[in-house]
Amino acid sequence: MISADIAAALEQQFSDRIRSKNLTALDPWVVVAPADLLDVCRFLKEDPRLQFDLLNC
């Protein structure tokens, strides 16, 4: 899965919570409000299409 697919899944699930994104950066990123971070991380981990099982800060 490429970054555009991940961003699309996030936008589908959290369309009103995505504050900004840059998918063309060397390390693509998406910004959400701090209050939404737990919900977004839980979605990334639990959605079977994504299977995020590692957090690197």
Overall domain count for the chain? 1
Domain span holding position 7: 3-46
Check residue 53 and give its pLDDT: 87
Residue 27 lies in a domain: yes
Distance from C-alpha of 10 to C-alpha of 7, rounded to nearest angstrom: 5
Pairing of strands 18-22, 29-32: antiparallel
pLDDT tens column, 1-56: 789 999 999 999 999 999 999 999 999 999 999 999 999 999 999 999 998 988 78
Residue 52 lies in a domain: no
Residue 21 lies in a domain: yes
**Looking at beta carbons, which pairs linking 11-20 to residues 24 or more positions away fall under 8 Å?**
13/43, 13/47, 14/39, 14/40, 14/43
Residue 54 lies in a domain: no
Check residue 48 and give its pLDDT: 93
Polymer length of the chain: 57
Phi first, then psi, for residue 47 (nearest 5°) are: -70, 125
Check residue 39 and give its pLDDT: 97
Residue 30 lies in a domain: yes
pLDDT at 57 over 90: no
Check residue 37 and give its pLDDT: 95
Residue 14 lies in a domain: yes
Residue 53 lies in a domain: no
Say if pTM beats, i.e. exceeds, 0.75. yes
